[in-house]
Structure 1
């Protein structure tokens, strides 16, 4: 995607309140004769309200015919690692437990979400990934934390 187009997509996503993840890489875990293979996907997204923070998610994507058509339900497991990638600046006030990222993981009823907390005592941003369903969610989750530290300036 060209840089100008990518910037427009990011701007529209931020305006709509939804952050789009960028695929960093993927590995196949199960070969499927028909449709795409089952795989683990690694995606990255920037926190829309905290400049200087990028989060990386790894999660399973169901393949096969149903997966290729978007009808399969992906597993609830996900892993997250968020990192400081530049000076941290708050673009606006943060809300506790605020949704930072959300992606549909089944046709209708299931989503994977990332929410953010600010641990004031330790001056740390905490990100939690979990999956939920319309009726019943999953207790499986993963957490990562970023201490807010000064960013070294280039001389």
Structure 2
């Protein structure tokens, strides 16, 4: 448990610098007699440092009694789409890799994370979504790209 306690400040820092998501909506995928239904939810978030980019993430949510009380581990299944939704203004110093969104998907150290990368050669923002356990690596992933172009 000491390893987990040492990671807590890093998780807090990541959550403070990441975008906050807004739920767009959810669709039930399986009805549960006891507790919440299994569902897939879509959330939207704006890139906190690059105005003009909005991403949508769909994620499976486990229902049942454990899901109702936030004790269930959600599956590592999600999809990511990012688009230009206004004029894009790049900051003067854009880090090569930066976490722009992070959300816990279990009670202990499993998360969905979206990292922004800058592909200077192709003038494109690359958003990589990963579902991971901090100890086990990153088995599931999704990618979306946004070419930086004049708006309208």
Cα shift at 1:62: 0.5
Gapped regions of structure 1 (runs ≥ 5): 1-14
State the distance in 2 between where 1:92 and 1:72 align. Answer: 42
CA–CA separation in structure 1 for the residues paired with 2:26 and 2:107: 21
Secondary structure of 2:65 counterpart? helix
> Which aligned runs of 4 or more in structure 1 are off by greater than 3 angstroms?
none
Q: Deviations over 1:76-96 (max 9, x none)?
A: 121100000000012452212
Inter-partner Cα distance in structure 2 for 1:25 and 1:91 = 31
* Distance across 2 between alignment mates of 1:50 and 1:85: 11
Over the residues paired in the alignment, what is the CA RMSD in angstroms?
1.4
- Confirm whether residue 108 of structure 1 aligns to residue 108 of structure 2: yes
**Where does structure 2 lack aligned partners over 5 or more consecutive residues?**
1-14
Q: What do residues 7-39 of structure 1 show as CA deviations (whole Å, max 9, x unaligned)? A: xxxxxxxx9323211111110001011111000
| Separation in 1, partners of 2:64, 2:92 | 42
Alignment of 1:6-155 (within 5 A): 16-91=16-91, 93-152=93-152
Cα distance in 1, alignment partners of residues 114 and 18 from structure 2: 12
Deviates further, 15-24 or 45-54: 15-24
TM-score, L = length of structure 2: 0.86
Contact 2:18 2:99 in 1 (8 A): no
Counterparts of 2:137 and 2:63 in 1: how far apart (Å)?
22
For 1:131 and 1:34, how far apart are their aligned partners in 2?
Answer: 27
Q: TM-score, normalised by structure 1?
A: 0.85
SS at 2:94's partner residue?
coil
How far did residue 103 of structure 1 move? 0.4
User: In the aligned structure 2, how far is the partner of 1:137 from the partner of 1:78?
Assistant: 16
